[in-house]
């Protein structure tokens, strides 16, 4: 099969969408398929890779380092007329994503979209909550233009179906358990953080921005300090809220962006993953924390609802119950015996999630769309003489 993947974010950019898209691309290629990647040109790209088609981009407001792809419908039509893919996967709803959707539909190519970002929730986080229904309507129009919309959880699938989204299909996520492993715990790294074996280290991994609800993480840590005064709070990631948090909390440890084995080492060296976000479609970092043997406190939705068992792997708190979130962090931090048992159990929660299976499921979904599209084309072709005769 020949597939095309369209995304407005891709590594070396670090975010959940970019890494998920890369995993899907690599998974399809490992299964023997030809995969073309269409994305905005990044600053250090040069000519790009042979399988890549780079388009013009523009900076994304409030997201330093990320770019929107500019409209490119005609260019994509020409590209796909020369080398027609069997199916297209569009991962992002920006101008490039809309262009790819239009081009695929005009050419009669099977197309799936991925619902990766809750832009409707972001409206509230950035103080324009009145735009929430408009954002949701905009996303519905985009995704309903595809043959299928892929989502990572049952919860999100049911929500979108209730909101009028058509053809919503669940594609579970996975985690690299060989990379994210408790054995990567590093005493030397903990020493750099000012922590020894007896020091509890709370850790946050992700974008440091308003939509992540990070003021709650700070409040939870301050409550945690009441039971563990020597505790340290380590932040892995970057974003527009970092400068303010760093200024207001000089005792926090900010490590910036980490990738690959370094990220895995940071995860495994923590003792409690504090994840207060309410704007995730999934939350890959939840799986990475569990795979790393780190008890997790998160709200009960997305990845946490799918895999985190309250009291066994940490705490799955009712969405929006901030007092319970704070209490859970303090309670788990103060109970060494319970936290140790959780650390032993967390990895089992994700042990069966294999990236190879996700790639196989993704491949099967795309091939199903291809067969359906070809069946429609054959039906139209067979009925044409009858219409002409009439």
pLDDT in tens, 225-250: 999 999 999 999 999 999 999 999 99
- Region 133-152: mean pLDDT is 94
- Backbone phi, psi, residue 302, to 5°: 60, -140
- Region 18-46: mean pLDDT is 92
Q: Which of 297, 343, 304, 305 is nearest to 324 (CA)?
A: 297
Predicted structure pTM score: 0.86
Query: Are 236 and 201 within 8 A, CB to CB?
Result: no
15 and 50 together in one domain: yes
197 and 323 together in one domain: yes
**Weakest mean pLDDT among 19-23, 142-146, 297-301, 382-386:** 382-386
167 and 208 together in one domain: no
pLDDT at 390: 44
**Does residue 10 carry a pLDDT above 80?**
yes
What whole-number percentage of the chain has pLDDT above 70? 93
Q: Give the pair of three-digit tokens for residue 7.
A: 């995304």
227 and 255 together in one domain: yes
167 and 129 together in one domain: yes
Q: Which of 80, 60, 61 is nearest to 69 (CA)?
A: 60
Average pLDDT over the chain, rounded to an integer: 92
87 and 155 together in one domain: yes
120 and 35 together in one domain: yes
- The residues, ordered by sequence, that sit 6+ positions from 244 with a Cβ below 8 Å of its Cβ are none
128 and 225 together in one domain: no
**Does residue 64 carry a pLDDT above 70?**
no
pLDDT in tens, 187-198: 999 999 999 999
- Backbone phi, psi, residue 293, to 5°: 80, 30
Q: What is the 3-state secondary structure (H, E, C) of the chain?
A: CEEEEECCCCCCCCCHHHHHHHHHHHHHHHCCCEEEEEEECCCCCCCCCCCEEEECEEECCCCCCCEEECCCHHHHHHHHHHCCCCEEEECCCCHHHHHHHHHHHHHCCEEEEECCECHHHHHHHCCCHHHHHHHHHHHHHHHCCCCEEEECCHHHHHHHHHCCCCCEEECCCCCCCCCCCHHHCCHHHHHHCCCCCCCCEEEEECCCCHHHCHHHHHHHHHHHHHHCCCCEEEEECCCCCHHHHHHHCCCCEEEECCCHHHHHHHHHCCCEEEECCCCECCCHHHHHHHHCCCCEEEECCHHHHHHCCECCCEEEECCCCHHHHHHHHHHHHHCHHHHHHHHHHHHHHHCCCCHHHHHHHHHHHHHHHHHHHHHHHHHHHHHHHHHHHC
72 and 189 together in one domain: no
Q: Which of 243, 249, 247, 239 is nearest to 202 (CA)?
A: 249
145 and 23 together in one domain: yes
300 and 383 together in one domain: no
CA–CA gap between residue 282 and residue 152 (Å, rounded):
6
Domain that holds residue 326: 182-350
Q: Is 314 left (phi over 0), alpha (psi -120 to 50) or beta?
A: left
pLDDT at 46: 65
**Weakest mean pLDDT among 52-56, 64-68, 250-254:** 64-68
pLDDT in tens, 159-199: 999 999 999 999 999 999 999 999 999 999 999 999 999 99
pLDDT at 59: 77
pLDDT at 133: 83
223 and 125 together in one domain: no
Domain count along the chain = 2
Residue 301 CA from chain centroid, whole number: 14
CA–CA gap between residue 320 and residue 276 (Å, rounded):
9
Quick one: angle between helices 16-30 and 355-389, nearest 10? 80
Quick one: angle between helices 322-334 and 336-350, nearest 10? 110
Give the CATH number for residue 269: 3.40.50.2000
Q: Which of 295, 335, 333 is nearest to 315 (CA)?
A: 295
pLDDT in tens, 89-123: 999 999 999 999 999 999 999 999 999 887 777 66
CA–CA gap between residue 372 and residue 383 (Å, rounded):
17
pLDDT at 189: 98
CA–CA gap between residue 104 and residue 229 (Å, rounded):
58
pLDDT in tens, 285-326: 999 999 999 999 999 999 999 999 999 999 999 999 999 999
**Does residue 336 carry a pLDDT above 50?**
yes
Is the model more confident about 127 or about 152? 152
pLDDT at 158: 96
> Distance of CA 10 to CAs 17, 46, 212, Å?
8, 15, 21
């Amino acid at each position: 099969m020949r597939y095309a993947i369209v995304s407005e974010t891709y590594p070396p950019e670090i975010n959940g969408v970019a890494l998920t898209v890369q995993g899907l691309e690599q998974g399809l290629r490992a299964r023997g398929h030809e995969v073309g990647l269409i994305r905005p040109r990044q600053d250090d790209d040069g000519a790009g890779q042979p399988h890549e088609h780079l388009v013009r981009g523009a900076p994304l407001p409030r997201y330093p380092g990320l770019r929107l792809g500019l409209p490119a419908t005609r260019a994509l039509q020409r590209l796909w007329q020369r080398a027609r893919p069997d199916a297209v996967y569009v991962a992002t709803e920006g101008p490039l994503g809309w262009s790819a959707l239009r081009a695929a539909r005009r050419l009669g190519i099977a197309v799936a979209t991925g619902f990766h970002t809750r832009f409707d929730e972001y409206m509230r986080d950035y103080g324009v909550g009145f735009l929430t229904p408009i954002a949701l309507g905009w996303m519905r129009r985009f995704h309903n233009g595809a043959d299928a919309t892929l989502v990572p959880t049952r919860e999100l699938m049911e929500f979108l179906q209730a909101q009028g989204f058509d053809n919503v299909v669940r594609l579970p996520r996975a985690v690299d358990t060989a990379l994210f492993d408790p054995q990567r715990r590093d005493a030397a790294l903990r020493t750099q953080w000012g922590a020894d074996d007896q020091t509890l280290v709370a850790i946050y991994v992700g974008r440091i921005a308003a939509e992540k609800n990070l003021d709650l993480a700070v409040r939870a840590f301050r409550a945690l300090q009441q039971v563990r005064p020597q505790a340290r709070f380590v932040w892995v990631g970057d974003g527009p809220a970092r400068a303010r948090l760093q200024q207001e909390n000089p005792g926090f440890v900010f490590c910036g962006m980490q990738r690959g084995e370094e990220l895995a080492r940071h995860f495994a060296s923590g003792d409690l993953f504090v994840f207060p976000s309410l704007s995730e479609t999934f939350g890959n970092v939840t799986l990475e924390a569990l795979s790393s043997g780190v008890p997790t406190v998160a709200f009960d939705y997305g990845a946490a609802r799918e895999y985190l068992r309250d009291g066994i792997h940490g705490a799955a708190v009712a969405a929006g119950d901030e007092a319970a979130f704070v209490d859970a962090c303090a309670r788990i931090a103060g109970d060494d015996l319970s936290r140790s048992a959780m650390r032993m159990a967390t990895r089992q929660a994700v042990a069966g999630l294999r990236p190879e299976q996700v790639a196989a499921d993704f491949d099967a979904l795309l091939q199903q769309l291809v067969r359906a599209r070809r069946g429609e084309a054959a039906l139209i072709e067979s009925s044409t003489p009858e219409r002409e005769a009439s």
